[in-house]
Amino acid sequence: MRKMKEKIIKILKEHKNKKIDLIEIENKLPAATSYKEIATIINELCEDGYLRGVKKAGCNYKAINLFNAYHIEKKKLREAIDREIIQTGLAIDNRISLDFYLTNNEKYWKEDKGYIILIDRYLTENGLPEQVASIPERSYYISSDEKWLSEKNGLNILKRLKLTESMKITSNSEPAMFALSEHFSQHSSYKHLIVENKSVYYSLLPFLKELDFATLIYGAGWQIISGIRDFEKQFPFSDKENEFLYFGDLDHEGIKIWDALSKEHGIGLAKPFYLELLNCEPSNGKENQLPNKEALNNFIEIFGAAPDVKEKVSKLLDSKKYIPQEALKSEILRKTWRSMNGAK
């Protein structure tokens, strides 16, 4: 009986008009449903305030007398879902508007609420973005799925939440920012080092001309995900192999950025820099970062048999600490980069 009542309530919710004929309800139920069961539920729904008989439509005068048509109390039907929406609205970031869900079919709420929690988590941890990002980049950062915004209804959800403009999304990729070595054409391959932060970029820049790297690229955090896609247009030399290495903060975000680059572009890790970072004192301040187990495992596997890397990295991140790139002094950065000179 409970399941049948739920089916009838679903019929009422999905019915576009406020008036529904009894025969229409009956026709949408399984053929084996007894009239007694239907009549019992209809009367219960009337008592609960979900239905009200239309007297002008007359009655069917059966053993359990029912009206031939009923008014649907739409507002009453939405009470539970509206209460849930309002309670959620009080608990999440106040920049997220849930007004759309209070005035539209509840199927949108049921489909979107999981993503609304993800967006709330993003805003809680990061605030509104200060820089423009491409659709794939912003999508990956919010949901760990670079296709969520473009192919899985994410853009529509942001529109419903009135966040489209404030999330600073562009369909155009930001170009990669890099310095070109004056000796780049003299090497056997085109090697490129991507660094996550600007301060490290400027610390390494004076040494670029001394090494066999063609470019030093400033990744700007997640911006590199979109910027690297059109790199060949900025660096239009196809006569030699391109090899990219990445060096970022030793934290969950830095690892996830590299993992995204690795999956999409086959970009490797600048391992010597990370091995040096593991000798530095950890810092607090990234406690709210969300881990990605697959990305972390992929990161650790790159080091192979390197001593204690897995144990040290796991211990560091499990303690909610991190080691920024800036932990390496300029002389260590230079020495470490030099050690990579001529290496594949």
Q: Is the dihedral of CA 11, 12, 14, 16 positive or negative?
A: positive
The one-letter amino acid at 3: K
203: its two tokens: 């610390």
- 220 and 150 assigned to the same domain: no
Res 344 pLDDT > 60: no
- 192 and 334 assigned to the same domain: yes
Closest CA to 4 of 37, 35, 46: 37
**What is the crossing angle of helices 135-143 and 106-126, to 10°?**
90
| Domains held by the chain: number | 3
Q: Which helix (H) or strand (E) holds 243?
A: strand 242-247
Per the domain annotation, does 344 fall within a domain?
no
- 188 and 297 assigned to the same domain: yes
Predicted TM-score (pTM) of the model is: 0.56
Rounded Cα distance, 167 and 164, in Å: 6
Burial of 23 (0-12, 13-18, 19+ CB in 10 A): exposed
- 138 and 25 assigned to the same domain: no
Long-range contact pairs involving 71-80 (C-beta distance under 8 Å, separation at least 24): 71/18, 71/19, 72/12, 72/15, 72/17, 72/18, 72/19, 72/20, 73/49, 74/18, 76/48, 76/49, 76/50, 77/9, 77/12, 77/13, 77/50, 78/106
**What is the crossing angle of helices 79-91 and 106-126, to 10°?**
10
How much is the mean pLDDT over the chain? 88
For the chain, state the CA radius of gyration: 30
pLDDT at residue 174, rounded to an integer: 63
Res 332 pLDDT > 90: yes
Rounded Cα distance, 209 and 214, in Å: 9
pLDDT at residue 175, rounded to an integer: 67
Q: Are 74 and 93 in contact (CB under 8 A)?
A: no
Per the domain annotation, does 41 fall within a domain?
yes
pLDDT digits (tens, 9 = 90+) for 131-181: 777 787 788 778 877 778 888 889 999 999 999 888 988 765 666 788 888
pLDDT digits (tens, 9 = 90+) for 62-91: 989 999 999 999 888 888 899 999 999 999
pLDDT at residue 223, rounded to an integer: 83
- CA dist 194 to 186, 191, 222, 251, 270, Å? 20, 10, 12, 16, 9
Res 2 pLDDT > 90: no
- 8 and 94 assigned to the same domain: no
pLDDT at residue 133, rounded to an integer: 75
pLDDT digits (tens, 9 = 90+) for 96-109: 999 999 988 888 99
Per the domain annotation, does 196 fall within a domain?
yes
Rounded Cα distance, 145 and 135, in Å: 11
Rounded Cα distance, 205 and 198, in Å: 10
Res 307 pLDDT > 70: no
Residue range 200-225: mean pLDDT, rounded: 90
Res 343 pLDDT > 90: no
- 72 and 88 assigned to the same domain: no
Residue range 28-55: mean pLDDT, rounded: 92
- 147 and 219 assigned to the same domain: no
Per cent of the chain over pLDDT 90 is 53
Which residues constitute the domain of residue 187? 177-339
- 158 and 188 assigned to the same domain: no
DSSP for 152-199? SSHHHHHHHTT-TTTTTEESSPPPPEEEE-TTGGGSSSEEEEEESSHH
Only one residue has tokens 């039907």, namely 77
Last residue of one domain, picked from the residues 135, 170, 205: 170
Burial 311-329 (b: 16+ CB within 10 A, else e): ebbeebbeeebbbbbebbe
- 62 and 132 assigned to the same domain: no
Last residue of one domain, picked from the residues 77, 111, 141: 77
